[in-house]
Every structure is written in C-alpha cells, then in structure tokens.
C-alpha cells in the first residue's frame, strides 16, 4: 500500500514550536535593519539554510516563475543574488527587470517578502563575488549552460569534471555569463506567525518621503 498524501498532510502542523513575539510598534524605520536582526535571529535559532530564498520573476508574457537561490548580500544597495544571465531567470530578468524574494524561517515562524526593480552589478563585481566563494561554486558556474536541455547525464559529467579541474587550477577563472543582480526594494513585508493565528504583518513601502510602515490583516 502506498503512502496516502492526504493523511500525511493532515498529520502535519505549522506554528507548532515556541514562537517569538514581535511588537511592530518598536520596529526600526528602515526594513534593512529589521531584516538583518531577523536574519541573525534565524541563524542563532539554528534555522537550516536561512540564506536561501525563493526568487520570483515573470517572463515576457507576464507569466510567473520561481526557484530557490542564495542570498549574497543585503545592504543599502539592495538584496543581491547571482546566476547566469543566459539562464531562464536571467532571460526573464532581461525582459522584465522586476522580481520578488521570499524567505521562510520556520524555526521562528517568520516570513519576509521583498519586491522591487532588479539591476545587474558591474561585471568585475560579479567575478570578485564568485571568486570569493568555494571551488564548488566556481566549478558550478564554469559548467554553464544553465537551463538548457541536457542531452545525457554523461555530457554533464564530462563538462562538470572539466569545470572542477579548471576551478582547482585557476581559482580566478572568469565566467562571463555570471551576473550579480541587485533588487532594490519598493516593499518589504515581515510576517510573524502566531500559534493562535493572530499573525503580525508589518509592511514597509518606499515613498518619496521615505519608508512608510503599515500593518496588514493576516
Ligand atoms: C538551496 C538552493 C540554492 C540555489 N542557489 C542558486 C543560486 O544562488 N544561483 C543559481 O543560479 N541557482 C541556484 N540554485 C538552482 C536554482 O534553484 C535553479 O534550479 C537554477 O538556477 C535554474 O533556474 P532557472 O531555470 O529559472 O534559470 C539553487 C537551488 C537550491 C535548491
């Protein structure tokens, strides 16, 4: 007998751990400060891979797409991530340079959503960012052809082997398609889950006069 997915789904819970309280009246005036505090808190709580996020883009027709990527930085110039500009997401970002990011840190019942325009950083910055990372990251980037149809696993094995060898021998090997993108937020929302479902949602919206904070119904 196979597993019944619906039985499994009914057996699972969310917001079943001890959750922190979040008082939005004491929140900082800029979202970056709160993001940095929540990120550090997620790391301290032992949240696995808190630096991974969903990246949502739209294609030329406006149809949505989403995948997981790593957060490379978050500062006054925006939230950054890196990928190949000729990948599917890279092509979507070229057509529609606007994206959304989603973080979920279940250990703390917290979600953060970020939306805004995306720009590519100068190529030298992308290469420096890549070369500061692991040999595996460089080998993966050197393998290239991301999102193209793969004819066979053997073809990937050969390309990956060659990429690993080059990454080990030439730690500064350039990867011309590798691009560092920065999302400059128009809007950042912080969601604090609550066991009684009285979740707190605090949204920051960028205006000409600076950041405006509002609460949202959960
Ligand atoms: C935990 C995790 C982290 C990832 N980080 C990245 C990343 O930083 N950059 C990247 O290009 N792909 C990353 N990927 C792979 C992407 O999810 C995706 O498969 C790939 O980028 C192709 O996406 P696309 O076809 O929409 O361009 C990651 C996947 C996982 C599961």
The model's pLDDT over 59-107, given as tens digits with 9 standing for 90+, comes to 999 999 999 999 999 999 999 999 999 999 999 999 999 999 999 999 9
**Is the Cβ atom of 67 under 6 angstroms away from ligand 1?**
yes
For the chain, give the secondary structure using H, E and C. Answer: CCCCHHHHHHHCCCCCCCCCCCCHHHCCCCHHHHHHHHHHHHHHCCCCCCCEEEEEEECCCCCEEEEEEECCEEECCEEEEEEECCCHHHHHHHHCCEEEEEEEEHHHCEEEEEEEEEEECCHHHHHHHHHCCCHHHHHHHHHCCCCCCCCCHHHHHHHHHHHHHHHHHCCCCCCCCEEEEEECCCEEEEEECCCCCCCEEEEEEEECCEEEEEEECC
**Is the Cβ atom of 137 under 6 angstroms away from ligand 1?**
no
**Is the Cβ atom of 52 under 6 angstroms away from ligand 1?**
yes
| Helices (H), ranges, 115-171 | 123-131, 135-143, 153-169
Ligand 1 centre distance from Cα of residue 29 (Å): 32
Q: Cα–Cα distance between 32 and 78 in angstroms, integer?
A: 9
Ligand 1 centre distance from Cα of residue 66 (Å): 10
- Tell me how far the alpha carbon of residue 146 is from its chain's centroid: 18
Q: Which tokens sit at 36?
A: 């940095």
**Is the Cβ atom of 143 under 6 angstroms away from ligand 1?**
no
**Is the Cβ atom of 136 under 6 angstroms away from ligand 1?**
no
Nearest-atom number in ligand 1 for the CA of 57 is 26
Q: Cα–Cα distance between 98 and 107 in angstroms, integer?
A: 29
**Is the Cβ atom of 177 under 6 angstroms away from ligand 1?**
no
Which residue's alpha carbon is at the smallest distance from atom 28 of ligand 1? 69
CB 185 within 8 A of CB 79: yes
The model's pLDDT over 98-154, given as tens digits with 9 standing for 90+, comes to 999 999 999 999 999 999 999 999 999 999 999 999 999 999 999 999 999 999 999
Ligand 1 centre distance from Cα of residue 146 (Å): 9
**Is the Cβ atom of 66 under 6 angstroms away from ligand 1?**
no
**Is the Cβ atom of 89 under 6 angstroms away from ligand 1?**
yes
Predicted confidence at residue 1, as pLDDT, reads 61
Predicted confidence at residue 147, as pLDDT, reads 94
Find, among 128, 106, 93, 86, the residue nearest to 18 by Cα.
106
Q: Is the pLDDT of residue 183 over 90?
A: yes
């Amino acid at each position: 007998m196979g597993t019944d997915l619906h039985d499994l789904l009914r057996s699972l819970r969310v917001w079943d751990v001890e959750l922190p309280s979040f008082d939005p009246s004491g929140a900082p005036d800029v979202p970056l400060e709160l993001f940095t505090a929540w990120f550090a808190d997620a790391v301290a709580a032992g949240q696995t891979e808190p630096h991974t996020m969903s990246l949502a883009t739209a294609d030329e027709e406006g149809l949505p797409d989403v995948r997981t990527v790593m957060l490379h930085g978050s500062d006054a110039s925006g939230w950054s991530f890196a990928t190949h500009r000729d990948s599917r997401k890279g092509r979507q970002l070229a057509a529609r340079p606007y994206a959304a990011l989603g973080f979920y840190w279940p250990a703390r019942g917290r979600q953060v959503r970020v939306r805004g325009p995306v720009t590519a950083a100068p190529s030298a910055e992308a290469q420096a960012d890549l070369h500061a990372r692991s040999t595996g990251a460089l080998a993966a980037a050197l393998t290239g052809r991301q999102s193209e149809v793969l004819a066979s696993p053997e073809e990937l094995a050969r390309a990956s082997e060659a990429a690993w060898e080059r990454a080990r021998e030439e730690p500064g090997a350039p990867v011309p398609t590798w691009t560092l993108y920065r999302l400059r937020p128009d809007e950042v929302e912080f969601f604090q889950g609550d066991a009684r479902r009285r979740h707190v949602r605090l949204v920051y919206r960028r205006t000409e006069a600076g950041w405006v904070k509002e609460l949202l119904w959960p």
